[in-house]
Structure formats: C-alpha cells, structure tokens
Amino acid sequence: MRVAVIGARPGPIGGTTILVEQLIRGLKAAGVQVFAVDLARTTAMGVARILWTLAVLISLVRAFLRCDVVSIHVSVGGFQVLLPLVVALSRVLRTPLLVRYFGGDVRDAYRNFPPWLRSALVRVCYRHATFLGETREVVEHFRAHGAICYQYLNTRPEPAFDPPVVEAHPGGEVLRKGRYVFVSQLKRAKGVLEAVQAAEQGEGFELDVYGPADWDVSEQELRHRRNVCYRGVAPLGKSQEIISQYDALVFPSYYPGESYAGVIVESYSVGRPVVASRWQALPELVRHGETGLLVPPGDVRALRTALEMLAKNRDIMAKLGANARQFFVRYLRSDVAMERFVDICRSAAERRDRFVRPDVLDLP
C-alpha cells in the first residue's frame, strides 16, 4: 500500500510537526510505502517563493497520482487554504483522502470563514473526505456537518529509557522541595507568567522553565525570579527525558487553540502528573484527581495552592503519576495509534469511497 503524508516536517522547535514525522516513521516501519510532501513554510521571497509554491503543487498532484490513499495533516491555516484544493484533486483523480486536523479551535475558525467557504466546506469537502480530530469538540463539529470523523489522539512513543519513579515520602515526611517544570512556547496565553508568579509566591517547590523566548514573553522576564530558573530551549526529541527529571509538569494554558498538548502526553509517558488549567480540551486529557490537577485559567493563587499541596503530599503525587502512566499505556502510545491509522488507510484503499468505521478511537 502506498500512502501520501502531506504536512510540515520538523524544524528546530517541533510542535505538531513532530507528529507528522512520527507518522512517516511509523508507516515505514509497518511496511507501508510513504510519499511525503513537506509543507514547512519557506522564508524565500519573490521568484524563489513562487518556485517553491509550484514545486509543492506539483508534489501534491504526484501524491494523488501515485498513492492509494492521501493524508493531509494541517491546523487551521492550512485547513482553510489547502482543503478545497486537495478535495478537488481527490475527487478528480478518485484517490481516497484523509484529513487530520491539529488543534481545538475548529468551531471558532469555521464561524470566521467567509460564507462561501463555509458552504463549500459543508457541501463538498466535509462530505467527501474522512477526518481525524484530536478533541471531542473537533470531532463533534465535523460529525454535526455530515462528515465521517474519528478521534485520533496526539500520541508519543514509549520513552527510550527507564524513567525514575516518583516515590512517596515515608510517613508523609517532606524530605525536599517539589520540582516542577514548564515546557512550551513562551507565549503569555500558555500561562508561563502565571506559573512563574505561582512559584515566586509559593513555598516548598521550585520551577524550571523550558521554551523559546521572545514570542511575547522575553527571556529577561524569566530571569532573577525567586524559585524559578529559565533553562532555555528543550532540544528536539528530549522533552520526555527532561520531564522525567521532575516531579510534575505545569501547564496552565489558556491559549485559544489549545487541544491535546503533546507535552502532556510526553509527561504521562514518563509517569509524571500534570497541573493544568481547566480550559477548552485540557480537562479531557488531564483528569482532575486522577492523572493530575486542574485549576481555573489565569488563577495564580489556585495554581500556587495546587503546587504546594502536591509538594507536601508526595503520596498523592506518586499516585497521580502512576495513573498518568497507565493512561498513556492504554490510550496514548504511538504504536497503538499507528495500527489504527494503517487500518483506516487499508479500508480506504480497498473501497476507494467512504470508510468502514474501525474500532472506536474516542477517549472515554
């Protein structure tokens, strides 16, 4: 079977591009012939940019001509620009199309589309392609408009090392400070400043921060803060190893397009609980009192209280970490998701029309 994977390949930071690369590697390991089209943005201008655009368009046509199934992996920007084009190619060349939508903001984006585009999406695109969405909101949006859509989760491979286990203190005695880590883009809406303020005001714990600065938070804003240390950018592919050196991940995001953040999946993979905000799809992934704790978005006091409580109650920390690890093994391992993706592709290649519904992928 030949499968085209159309999406942006990883740069120095990663993000959703990691998932595209992960899929390509997994398909090849499963014996699938992969035709990859890189949609990573070019910095070229003028004639060079025009040539780059033409090269991408030619690659798209070749993908539909050469492959049994074409899959495109996009967030809202690529969804608006590319979806009508790839659906047209799929219809003309009769090649089954899978559309994987990254992010959790599809409803707001849909409402902001021009009326003609909304009409075209519903009448043509939604009823021709099969969609894969991360969050319940995304899945429900596509299904409500007549599309076939499955929940396809943000997954990660098993760590290539043995993560240290978070152990409870004997008798509840606090032997050391709690050690927390924030790993993400340093955007205000990701909650990094709330995490820093909670650490500054808190007692009994420290916070290390990883991520590229100067989105809208500068490195200087993170320096010389009590109980806080800025560690720079996490090397690509090292997030699991970094998170495993801490007691828990702090992720108090209120980012408008937040979905199932990959860094949370990475934290679960090494048995670390997550303290996150009760925002959009995050409560679907971070189960309060089971795999982590949830606080109101933007509430520094509630975040500080949660971090102090975990630092003082290592038995709770250890239990949440063990549950997070079990949740990862059951739902978020990339090898399990890969098997399901291959099954969907094979079903599409055999029927070359609407897909047979595979095993339900939705989280409980």
Question: 262 and 175, same structural domain?
Answer: yes
pLDDT of residue 174: 54
Residue showing tokens 């239990």: 319
Residue 151, pLDDT score: 86
Least confident of 68-77, 98-107, 299-308, 349-358: 349-358
Q: For the range 7-11, what are the long-range contacts, defined as Cβ-Cβ under 8 Å and sequence gap of 24 or more?
A: 7/37, 7/38, 7/39, 7/72, 7/73, 7/74, 7/100, 8/38, 8/39, 8/40, 8/41, 8/73, 9/36, 9/38, 9/40, 10/236, 11/40
Cα 350 from Cα 356, distance rounded (Å):
10
DSSP structural state of residue 172: G
Say yes or no: 337 and 312 in one domain: no
Pair (33, 79) in one structural domain: yes
**Is 22 inside any structural domain?**
yes
Say if residue 149 is in the same domain as residue 295: no
pLDDT in the model for residue 364: 60
Q: Is pLDDT at 205 greater than 90 in this prediction? A: yes
Highest mean pLDDT among 99-113, 259-273, 338-352: 259-273
pLDDT of residue 354: 47
Question: How large a percentage of the chain has pLDDT more than 70?
Answer: 90
Q: Which two tokens stand for residue 29?
A: 């390991």
- 319 shares a domain with 181: yes
Do residues 174 and 146 both lie within one domain?
A: no
315 and 341 belong to one structural domain = no
Looking at the structure of the chain, the number of domains it has is 2
What is the identity of the amino acid at 134?
E
Res 34 pLDDT > 60? yes
Q: Mean pLDDT, to the nearest integer, of 227-255?
A: 93
Is 230 contained in some domain?
yes
CA distances from 61 to 39, 86, 124, 360 (A): 14, 9, 19, 32
Looking at the fold, whether 151 and 174 belong to one and the same domain comes out as no
Span 202-222, average pLDDT: 89
Same domain, 264 and 201: yes
Amino acid at 36: A
CATH of the domain at 230: 3.40.50.2000
User: Across-strand partners of 130?
Assistant: 98, 148
Judge if 119 and 94 occupy the same domain.
Answer: yes
Task: Return the higher-pLDDT residue of 14 and 134.
Answer: 134
pLDDT at 14 over 80: no
Residue 193, CB half-sphere, CA atoms under 13 Å: how many? 14
The answer to whether the beta carbons of residues 25 and 5 sit under 8 Å apart is no
Element (H, E) at 252: none
Tell me which residue range forms the domain holding 108.
Answer: 2-155+333-351
Residue 140 domain flag: yes
Are 6 and 137 found together in one domain?
yes
pTM: predicted TM-score of the whole model, two decimal places: 0.86
* Together in a domain, 276 and 341: no
Contact 134, 152 (CB under 8 A): yes
In a domain, 363, yes or no: no
321 or 109, greater pLDDT = 321
Domain assignment present for residue 359? The answer is no
